[in-house]
Structure 1
Amino acid sequence: MATVITGGFGASDGASSGTEFVARLPPPGDDLKDYDNTKPHHQQPASIPQIFRDAMSVRELVFGQQGIPLEAEFDDDDARSWHWVVYASVAATSASPTSDAAPGLPLSNTSTSTNPRVDYRRSSASANATAQRLPVGTIRLIPPPHGPNKYLHGDKHPDADPPAAITESVEKKHPTGTEPYIKLGRLAVLPDYRSIGLAKLLINEALEYAAKHPQNIRPPPSPTKLEIANQLGGASETVAAWQGLAMVHAQVSVVKLWEKLGFTEELRDASGEVEISKEPHWMEEGIEHVGLWKRLKLDTRL
């Protein structure tokens, strides 16, 4: 599957030097058919795209430290999602402040760990700390349609779907069915590289791509499909065109980040009418979450 380097960005943190840049992986599809969710990224077959393995290296570390099981990190949406990875260029002779530990973990904890995943992360972080290109952040974009409520089927990942009462309330706001929307998720940045704007960079990369390539996100439905849907009482999400609706499930502690990028709990149209009302918050893994929405201005030029 083709990969695209989408830009270069200057580094400004004290923990590294050089530049960061972002790579984009289109939906990998069958390229992930041999992915084994019981094994970490470095034990996957060579057929797995390198950018995806880089994304998983960040996700495994960041979400693993939050208590997310390895088996829950990879899911069915990965194959149909776009993935972005931001890299830091690190001098071959440099070392991270936590080069003998998983980034963000106290040095005193590393010698007593009996967790093989943490032990691997420690050695991996040490090896990658001197790499020329270090994957330090990632995000994915899931296109419509969205499947059954994963939160109710055992997926306790922080960006799993919320309880049914919330998703059903969204459906009721659209008389022709659930309006198609994109969903951003698996946003993760290594602890040593936070607070320098990489999360914002990744979010903007994903949103900009979607707005400029709506035909890639959601190919226009055929006239036949639209006619059938209309005969059945309205176009459902499975055939309706994507009109720029985007959402994210955010931890309450980082809502301000998303609000600065234009996401809101209550979505209003250009005339001020409420499209989607504020919805109940919910708990995942003991963390309060909220649904946030944004309407993108699409580039409809061919």
Structure 2
Amino acid sequence: MARRPPRWLVATGLLTPTGLWLGLFLVAPLALVVQFSFATRDTGIARAVLPWTVDAYRTALDPAFLPIFGRTLAYAAATTLLCLVLGFPLAWFTARHAGRFRTAVLAAVLVPFWSSYLARIYAWKALLDGDGLVNRVLEQVGLGRDGGFLLTHGAVVLGLTYGFLPFMVLPLYVACERFDHRQVEASYDLGHGRVSTFARIVLPGVAPGVLAGSLLVLVPAAGDFVTPKLLGGVDQTTFGSVIDDQFRGGNNWPLGSAMAVLLLVLVVVVLVLRGKRGEDVL
């Protein structure tokens, strides 16, 4: 019989391509961003190694940026919550009642991904404008708004929710499909109502999908800068928009890199906290 290679050798061979890919396209660019964050605007990117300074971090942590930082977190949290509220009923219905139409429903959720994200946000910009369809329809019932609904917090949250809703629906659908629906019937037979059954049986049963979907929405929503730029204004600026301004118009790569690192640290902290909370739930 041929001698089998050691398990560690097989594992190394299987993981090496992925490790090289992640190292080249994830770790290396991230290391460059961290390096740039310790440079100064005067030294330039080519000489960003020495001397190192924390001036960019001092500027990024200036209290003037705190409202923008808080607004970014508020947008991300509101988007995650709204995606959960809208996505859970759809995922539950699809998993339990759609039957042979499940594929069609999931395809309808994924259809927007077949077009450019930028084109879809521009479409929302046209809809929410003062002369857009949304404002004209609402004017018929006395709910219209002068200038439309652009440049508002609601427009930004709406655009983010529209863009990231499928990231919530798909994990929830998988969790709902794997959930044993007989537990709901048993709960009813034992005298529990709908609210009690949902809180004690359904929600813990689909908690992995809720956690996965929340993370998939929260992380990109916190770093998105396209939607706030197109649907918002000065009062709707997010941390991602400020980072984009530093790398393009502001020509201040160290400050932009420092802000990117701080946002990354914040996301990692949120992931760790949510992960521990998810372990407690599971």
**TM-score (structure 2 length as normaliser):** 0.22
> Which structure shows the bigger proportion of residues in helix conformation?
2
> Which structure shows the bigger proportion of residues in strand conformation?
1
Instruction: Work out which of the two has the higher radius of gyration on C-alpha atoms and give 1 or 2.
Output: 2
